[in-house]
Structure 1
Amino acid sequence: MPHSDDLLWGAVGDISRFAALLTMAELNVADHLAHGPLNTADLAQRCGAHAPSLRRVLRELAGMGVVTAAGPDAYDLTEKGTALRSDVPDSVRSSIRMLGEESFWYAMGMLPATVREGSSAFIKRYGLIYDHLAGHPDVSRMFDDYMTARAIPFTEGLAKRYAFPATATMVDVAGGKGHILATVLHANPQMRGVLFDLEYVIGHARQTLAAEGLSDRVRIVSGDMFAGVPAGGDVYLLASVLHNWDDDDAVRILRNVREAMNDEGRVLILEVVLPDSEEPHLGKDIDMRMLAIFNGGTERSREEYAAVLGHAGLVISDVVELGSGANLIEARRR
């Protein structure tokens, strides 16, 4: 084999390794191994799998360090593999399942066609992502779990590193299940919140916020952010929202927020901000998914966010590093 860059051959191997992890997540292998090692036949029976096929996947997973041999034809879960259990904090199982879900897997495989034609092959087959999710509740729940898991490190950074006004009302625009809003309110006990999202989403938010004991501090509102957002907030949070839309749509959303917020209000944009350098970066990886799934959705640099905000009559007042590749951009009326 001709010599080539290890990164390139690593990327070639990554597709196989991800497929093995996806199999582990879908078959719930980590949960079945949570209480100790099992031989392949017993594990296959519990997973509802074909034992010889599972054995080959376990061999790959052992090479990745998420399971380990525990005697002849038996395997045990490693500390690294514990992250694929469904019952542990910061589990990555839902994230792996979502990225391997049929429509998302199709989107990434069809990225060359998307780039050739300049429009998403995913949309051509499945329609707009939020319409697709609304019509497929199982996929929607998986997507919600993925977004929740992905947001955990960003959310913890937001609550610890940003100084919220003590008695503010925060409007979480397209706030999903409400986990970010709940984290902020727990950290700021005098604040109140408004959870704003599409009608099919807010049922999950009611359950989450009730379970967090926050029903009396949060108003839940359904609606379309392109038509308007709830008025009178002091802080408007857009977490992983603007990257779903092209610049024109992002400006429409921001103008609606600017019109709705109080005179001294602020807009908080929680996104992965692209660096100006050519170094590898989480945002560049995510941008490939945005390109594959959305027509116009894109990750942006700080300069690009400044331009979008400027068109909406807003100006950046601060940028806070949240860790894990995420940034919080604070903006106010110009």
Structure 2
Amino acid sequence: MTQVSAVPSAAPSSEPPPQMQDRAVIMRLMFGAWLQQALYVAAKLDVADALADGPRDIEALAGEVGADPTALARFLRALVSAGVFAEPSPGRFELNGPAEYLRSSVPNTHKYIAILHGEEAYAACAEVLHTAHTGRPAFDVVYGKPYFSYIAGDPKARATFDAAMGRETAVPLVVAQCDFGAEGTVVDVGGGVGALLAAVLVDRPGLTGVLFDLPESSDAAREHLAGLGLAARVRVVGGTAFDSVPAGGDVYTISRVLHDFDDEQVLTILGNVRSAMSPSARLMVFDALLTERPGFNPGRMADLGMLMVLGGRYRTEAEMRDLLSRAGFRVTEVRHARDADPRAESVLEAVPA
């Protein structure tokens, strides 16, 4: 019996060109899941690091990263077709511009976020209809608990999350545009291993810091800060912003945290920050703001991820202003990163109303 392939034939089609283009759009989206997993394989197996010194034959490359040569070549060719990596001659692969961002050591690497998206977050997609029907996270159904409860009990998953968050926000572009003062204390709420706080303190010797996040990340944070020579200037405090926030700061920062939560949870966090602040203290909220733009919008894709995994959401500037106002703040300034990425951080600066 002859099997009929589901792969579209290269033979001429009788369809008019516009219809062919429309079908191609749907097909690209259908194959997106496999492409994401190919990206995950490349990130998880350190393929970009193995190619850092130049092109390599697939046999040698597969041997170094512990993969089957034929399978790895097929994964990489899928990525090459999407513009990631290059195959200058048959069976020989090399880095290109996009693939550089899968290396471990480059600034603002996407390697760890690709791993994060390819593991538990990807598995949560199996229950995406639950999210569509209820508006609640699919992750909770697949794993039986909310995401942050899950990683609190899984050190490996927590380490992946910390690596993804710490590496991706290592040097937020908009930080350079902010005035933190010459002296005082910066309290970073939900700061992970201290990537943003380190970026603030390293060039401002008159400042000290308080890094506040869940207790599970405290050891990794101390190690990270010590490696940067900042251990003596930063106090690491474990806790949850849903209960309280350390008092005594001159500037409070919340970086890429609020999009993890729904509006009521955000109001709880902001309310506790407001209670910890003196009348003269300032709050800086760093986050990606949703904007409408023609064509592909990465912000809208990220917003779906927040919905399915965490139950959170990305917000517009107007929505962020509204939440800050409801929590007792007055927004004094909004700055946007000078960057073409539509998800690049903006910062909303606010003071107690």
Q: Sort the Cα spacing of 1:197 and 1:7 in 2 relative to 1 into closer, same or farther, 3 A.
A: same
Tell me how far 1:229 sits from its aligned partner.
0.6
The 5-angstrom pairing of residues 179-218 of structure 1 reads: 179-218=195-234
Q: Which residue of 1 aligns with 2:47?
A: 29
Q: 2:348 is matched with which residue: 320, 329, 332?
A: 329
Tell me how far 1:44 sits from its aligned partner.
2.3
Tell me how far 1:225 sits from its aligned partner.
1.1
Q: Which residue of 2 aligns with 1:39?
A: 57
Q: 2:72 is matched with which residue: 35, 54, 58?
A: 54
Q: Which residue of 1 aligns with 2:133?
A: 116
> Separation in 1 of the partners of 2:25 and 2:248?
50
Q: Sort the Cα spacing of 1:84 and 1:241 in 2 relative to 1 into closer, same or farther, 3 A.
A: closer
Q: Which residue of 2 aligns with 1:256?
A: 272
Q: Secondary structure at the match of 2:60?
A: helix
Unaligned runs of 5+ in 1: none
Unaligned runs of 5+ in 2: 1-14
Tell me how far 1:258 sits from its aligned partner.
1.0
Q: Sort the Cα spacing of 1:90 and 1:257 in 2 relative to 1 into closer, same or farther, 3 A.
A: closer
Contact residue 33 and residue 76 of structure 1 kept, 8 A: yes
Q: Sort the Cα spacing of 1:245 and 1:68 in 2 relative to 1 into closer, same or farther, 3 A.
A: closer
Q: Secondary structure at the match of 1:243?
A: helix
Q: Sort the Cα spacing of 1:261 and 1:279 in 2 relative to 1 into closer, same or farther, 3 A.
A: farther
Q: Sort the Cα spacing of 1:233 and 1:279 in 2 relative to 1 into closer, same or farther, 3 A.
A: farther
CA RMSD of aligned residues (A): 2.2
One-letter amino acid of the structure 1 residue matched with residue 162 of structure 2: D
> Separation in 2 of the partners of 1:167 and 1:207?
25
Q: Secondary structure at the match of 1:89?
A: coil
Q: Secondary structure at the match of 2:289?
A: coil
> Separation in 1 of the partners of 2:197 and 2:291?
27
Contact residue 167 and residue 195 of structure 2 kept, 8 A: no
Q: Sort the Cα spacing of 1:83 and 1:306 in 2 relative to 1 into closer, same or farther, 3 A.
A: closer
Q: Sort the Cα spacing of 1:36 and 1:85 in 2 relative to 1 into closer, same or farther, 3 A.
A: same
Contact residue 156 and residue 183 of structure 1 kept, 8 A: no
1:256-280 Cα shifts (integer Å, max 9, x gaps): 1111112111111111112266765
Contact residue 173 and residue 345 of structure 2 kept, 8 A: no
> Separation in 1 of the partners of 2:289 and 2:63?
45
The alignment status of 1:313 with 2:331, answered yes or no, reads: no
Q: 2:32 is matched with which residue: 2, 11, 14?
A: 14
Contact residue 185 and residue 251 of structure 2 kept, 8 A: yes
TM-score by structure 2 length?
A: 0.86
